[in-house]
Structure 1
Amino acid sequence: MTELFNGKGGLVSGCIQCIDRAGVDFVALEDPKLVSPPSPQWHVVAALGTLKGGRADWLVEKCAELGASSVTALLTERSPSISENRVDRLERVILAASKQCQRLHEMVVHPPTKISDVLPKVSQSKLSFLAVAEAPPLMSALTSLELKSDGLLIVGPEGDFTAKELKQLTEAGATAIGLGPNRLRVETATIALLAALMLSSDAQQTT
């Protein structure tokens, strides 16, 4: 007995009859079913453009493994662009990671987005966390907040956001949070924040 999934929530049980160079013969033993996405759904918005080598790939791969619903490359004054070739590569990384960790709902890569276009999403979001150096600790914020059905996780570039960008995001409704005393790289901050929120949401659902 094995299961097949399509990355869109579809799941079907069956058995493999034959494997050869042409492909796999699979016989379904029941009707396909549609599984709802897990909650809460976290949407990562991070400044990937400044990341060198395979660091952006690593960030996106781990976001997929941890269950993020989507990833958006954030364009800021200190991270103004990201190449189309890199975006295409990130989509391939997500597909491979989704298969490896058996995600029923594949993570989405959104087109690169400017902060001005993120602000309405922050205003409309039920919960938005903004990683900022020297901000109040994340865990302190979590003790006073109930995790909603979805939210935004916003991480700036190396060198952090400008004062103007921070003001725009916080005035739109983002909650500034800190991730410890050390200055973290973009990918480290993103994964630390996402992992903490995924564990906290799991804890809330089981209590």
Structure 2
Amino acid sequence: MIELFNGKGGLIEGCIQRIDRTGLDVVALEDPKLVLPQHTQWNVFAAFGTLKGGRADWLVEKCTELGAQSVTPLLTERSPSISENRVDRLERVILAATKQCQRLHEMVLNPPMKIDGLLPLVSQSKLAFVAIAEATPLVTALSSSRNESSGLIIVGPEGDFTEKEVNKIVEAGATAVGLGPHRLRVETATIALLATLMLCSDSQQMPIP
């Protein structure tokens, strides 16, 4: 017995009928079901193009496991590019993580985006957080923010955003938030921010007994 999914919420139960070197045949045992997303839809924009040693793989893998709706490599002055080979590898990492954590809606890896392309999305979003050292603590910012069904998470490169980039993002409408007293790596900051927001979203959506 197996379950098949299409990465878009479609789920069907089936039974393996035959296996050979070219693949396998599965007999469907029921009609397909469509499962709607159950969590707040956070979209991650992180400048991880220059990360080395598998750190970018780890970032997108954990974003997949935590339930991010999408991840977009952010191109900044201090992280200006990401190789095409890296993008192909990240797609494979996302697919493997999707299957491993039994996620029905596959996380989208968007094409790399420059800061100027991000600004209209920030302006249109009802909720956007940008991780900035020494800014208002995230938990404090959450206590005064609206409960929205979707939002943006923005994390800069190693060496952080330039002052000009920060000003552009904040002026577009993002809320600057801090993640504690220590300087964090790009992937650590991304996962800390996403995990906190996902847990808060889940707690707000849980029914009261």
TM-score class, shorter? over 0.9
Alpha-carbon distance, 1:147 to partner: 2.9
Alpha-carbon distance, 1:120 to partner: 0.0
Q: TM-score, normalised by structure 2?
A: 0.95
Q: Determine if contact 2:39/2:202 at 8 Å carries over to the other structure.
A: no
CA distances 1:68-127 after superposition (whole Å, capped 9, x unpaired): 111101011111111111111111111111111111111111111000000000000111
- 1: CA distance between counterparts of 2:152 and 2:38? 15
Q: What secondary structure does 1:30 align onto?
A: coil
Unaligned stretches of 5+ in structure 2? Answer: none
Q: Determine if contact 1:10/1:33 at 8 Å carries over to the other structure.
A: yes
| 1:164 and 2:164 are equivalent in the alignment | yes
CA distances 1:105-159 after superposition (whole Å, capped 9, x unpaired): 1111111100000000000011101000000100111112233111110000011
Q: TM-score, normalised by structure 1?
A: 0.96
Other-structure match for 1:184: 184
Other-structure match for 1:134: 134
Other-structure match for 1:112: 112
Alpha-carbon distance, 1:47 to partner: 0.3
Unaligned stretches of 5+ in structure 1? Answer: none
Other-structure match for 1:32: 32
- 1: CA distance between counterparts of 2:88 and 2:3? 28
- 2: CA distance between counterparts of 1:28 and 1:197? 37
Other-structure match for 1:67: 67
- 2: CA distance between counterparts of 1:82 and 1:22? 35
Residue correspondences, number: 207
Q: What is the RMSD of the two structures over their aligned residues, measured on CA atoms?
A: 1.2
Q: What secondary structure does 1:111 align onto?
A: coil
Other-structure match for 1:122: 122
1:6-85 to structure 2, matched below 5 A, reads: 6-85=6-85
CA distances 1:151-171 after superposition (whole Å, capped 9, x unpaired): 110000011111111110000
Q: Percent identity?
A: 75
CA distances 1:19-44 after superposition (whole Å, capped 9, x unpaired): 44343332222110211223310110
